[in-house]
Every structure is written in C-alpha cells, then in structure tokens.
Structure 1
Amino acid sequence: MPNADTVVVLDFETTGLSPTMGDRAIEIGAVRIENGEITGRFQELMNPGQRISGFIEDYTGITNSMLKHAPSCEEVMSQFADFISGYNLVAHNASFDKRFLDAELSNISRTYSGQFACSMLVARRIYPHAPDHKLGTLVRYANIPSDGAFHRALYDSEMAAKLWQAMLRTIEKQTVLPEIPFKLLQKIAKTPKNSVRALLEHS
C-alpha cells in the first residue's frame, strides 16, 4: 500500500445528508498529492436531476441556476472515477463522503481500488486539544493560511489536503519511520487518544 503522502483528498457538496434517502451529489472537488506534492486537482458541479433547497443554496453558495446547465452526475462521476483510480482516499468526515462516492459510482457501475482514511478522526488523535475538529477550526489551529470560504468542494479539499500534510509532519516528529504508511493513519484514527503516542513511538 502506498505511503500516506500519496493520496487523493476529496470533498462532496450534496443535496442533503443521505444518498439512501434520495440525496445526490452537486459538486465534487479533489486534490491529488503524490510524494507530498500536489500534482492534480478536480472540480465539477453536477446536475442532480432535482432542485436543491434554499438551505443548501445558502450553505454552499451553489444555486439551482448554476446547476441547471451543469453536466450530469453520471458524466462527472465517470471522469472522477478515472481521477482517483489507483489512489488511496482521504476526506474530512470520510463516512459522509464515502457514502456519496459509493452511491454515485454504483449508479454508473464503477468502483475504486483505494482505501479511505478520515482526516477528522486522525485530527482528534493528533490535535486532541483543538477547540473542536471541524475543518475550519483545525485549519486555524494548525496555522494553515486560509481565506475562510468553506463549503465549496475544491476549497474544502484543498484545506483538508493541507491539514493532512500538517498532520503528517507532526507524526513524522513522533516516529522513527523513514516514511509514513497510509495504514498507520488508518490505525491512528481507531486508536484511543491516550495510546497514540505509544503507537507512534513503537511504529
């Protein structure tokens, strides 16, 4: 499995919270990192075939008029499946984004080979003293430059990618490993907070 510094960090904006309740993706943004360097970006609005609520318009800044002429979810997700092919995946609150990725790719009979890690769960272990573990809070806590315009998919994925890289630098200082495997980040996310230091010292 590749190292943790080679991943695709992704973020969905959606019509609601649950694809099982008929919600659809309306935007996908992603940043590809290879050996710690950003090597690609992906951003597309997509027409979900339904009107979005005023709440979602206000929350995301994405309007029904913007989506009216956007390509279909199926067209965009086919391109996105190619973009993520062969890479492990990271998202902030990954269970949410994974649900929509799985649902939208299932609609077009596509899959992906990579595994997921959740930057929010990792941050709870690496930055246990942060005020909370929302993406915007963590970006400020880690002193990552930001203009604060959250809730658009590419911007959120850019910020999550920078947070991921900051956490890798923090982890590197606590372990003797020459490279940080992706599976270690997955393990950190499931480790009790008071056991993380021992895990890293003995990795």
Structure 2
Amino acid sequence: MSQDAIVVLDFETTGLSPLQGDRAIEIGAVKLQQGVVVDRFQQLMNPGFAVSSFIADYTGITNAMLSDAPSCETVMADFADFIQGCHLVAHNASFDQKFLTAEFARIDLEQSQPFACSLLLARRLFQAVPNHQLGTLVNYLGIANDGVFHRALNDAEVTGALWLALSDAVSQRWACPAPSFELMLKLQRQPKHQLEKFMRAYLG
C-alpha cells in the first residue's frame, strides 16, 4: 500500500479510558486512496467482560452480540495488517489513538503511524459551525448518511467523507490542489488566527 493511503477509523469502547480498564468492543475503518474508498474493515470484539447497559444503549452493541465475537487481541492483530503503511485519521483522534495504542500494546505492537484529527481540522476550517461534533458537521456539510451514529463503520464512513471535505476546503481556500497529509497535520496544530499566515508561508 502506497504511503498516500489513509485509513479513517473509529472505535466503540466500554468506556472512556483504557487506563481505567476500558476495552474496545468494535472497530470500523475505511481505506482511502486518492480520495476513493478502496477497502473497509469492521469487526466486533469481545473484551472479556460484560458491557454496561449505558454502553449497550449508547452504541447498540449488546453482550449477546459480543458473546461470539473474537477477542480484542485477534481483531487487533488483523487490524494491524489492514493499516500497515497507511496514515491514520479519526474524529477526536486522541480518543481513538489512546485505545489503538493500548490494544496494540496488549499484543506487543507499537502504534507509530501519524494520526490526523478531523475534529481539530474542522475547528480551524469550518469556524462557522455551531459545534464540531460529527453529526453536526455531517448535517452542516450535507454529507450523505443513514442517521446511525456510534457504530464504528458508520462513523468511519462519514468521517472519511468529512476528511475529503476538509481536504477540498484547503484546496479551494488556498488554491492548493491535493493537500498532503503532512500539510493537514500541520494545519490542525495551527492557532485559528494564524491559518492565513501559515498558508502564505507554506505556499511561498
């Protein structure tokens, strides 16, 4: 897989923090190559303990659904192969990155790929939106969706479409065709009021 391949991923989990013992219960991802989805990955995974009724209601993932699912370790080993050689993107990426790092650590793998955050980029590029939750951005941008959020593949699909919208926004605003992943990473770190100055310097 060439280095311009991007995997947009989303976890559903038993809670907010792997440091508190929370585990992944579903991973969904789409692989983008030159702006086109070329592959998908979706798998429930059994964390080894029961999920709470809150999480079951929030995600729609029940203990019955997880009872026959493969272990986190099995799924994450497969997912490591899926993302090999790719850049990574997630919405509120710090959340997904900490779970990916924690689950990989359990199978003696290291999460080393660069990770872009569509939430941070949207805060900089779509400042007029009332908030930058995924559902709000999807509605604001008119991204096609089936209205189902908090299932991993659905969220990864619409985040992939959001990523392409963010890339298009950079292209159109600064006449910068096909902005690189590295540029998007740099943009997400810029203060909002510094974007124009940064892009002028970047484009020379």
* Smaller-chain TM-score bracket: over 0.9
Structure 1 residue 153 and structure 2 residue 169: aligned? no
Displacement of 1:187 in angstroms is 1.2
TM-score normalised by the chain length of structure 2: 0.94
The equivalent of 2:176 in structure 1 is: 177
Rounded Cα–Cα distance in structure 2 between residues aligned with 1:163 and 1:29? 16
Per-residue deviation, residues 132-191 of structure 1 (Å, max 9, x unmatched):
000000011111112211000000000100000011111101224343111211111111
- The residue type equivalent to 2:120 in the other structure is L
Displacement of 1:80 in angstroms is 0.1
CA RMSD between the two structures: 1.4
Q: What are the within-5 Å matches in structure 2 for residues 13-162 of structure 1?
A: 13-162=12-161
- The residue type equivalent to 1:144 in the other structure is I
TM-score normalised by the chain length of structure 1: 0.95
Rounded Cα–Cα distance in structure 2 between residues aligned with 1:117 and 1:101? 14
Instruction: Choose 97-106 or 140-149, whichever is displaced more.
Output: 140-149
The share of aligned pairs that are identical, in percent, is 53
Per-residue deviation, residues 68-90 of structure 1 (Å, max 9, x unmatched):
00000000000000000010100
Instruction: Choose 144-153 or 193-202, whichever is displaced more.
Output: 193-202
Rounded Cα–Cα distance in structure 2 between residues aligned with 1:40 and 1:2? 15
Displacement of 1:198 in angstroms is 3.1
Rounded Cα–Cα distance in structure 2 between residues aligned with 1:155 and 1:146? 8
Counterpart contact for 2:167–2:178, Cα < 8 Å: no
Counterpart contact for 2:88–2:114, Cα < 8 Å: yes
Rounded Cα–Cα distance in structure 2 between residues aligned with 1:201 and 1:146? 35
What are structure 1's unaligned runs of at least 5 residues? none
Q: Which has the higher contact order (CA 8 A, sep 6+)?
A: 1
Rounded Cα–Cα distance in structure 2 between residues aligned with 1:178 and 1:143? 22
Report SS of the residue matched to 1:156.
helix
- The residue type equivalent to 1:111 in the other structure is E
Report SS of the residue matched to 1:29.
strand
Counterpart contact for 1:43–1:153, Cα < 8 Å: yes
Aligned length: 201
Rounded Cα–Cα distance in structure 1 between residues aligned with 2:124 and 2:170? 11
Rounded Cα–Cα distance in structure 2 between residues aligned with 1:24 and 1:180? 35
What are structure 2's unaligned runs of at least 5 residues? none
Rounded Cα–Cα distance in structure 1 between residues aligned with 2:36 and 2:83? 16
Counterpart contact for 1:56–1:62, Cα < 8 Å: yes
Instruction: Choose 175-184 or 157-166, whichever is displaced more.
Output: 175-184
Per-residue deviation, residues 81-116 of structure 1 (Å, max 9, x unmatched):
000001010000000000000000010012344200
- The residue type equivalent to 2:41 in the other structure is F
The equivalent of 1:190 in structure 2 is: 189
Displacement of 1:2 in angstroms is 4.4
Report SS of the residue matched to 2:173.
coil
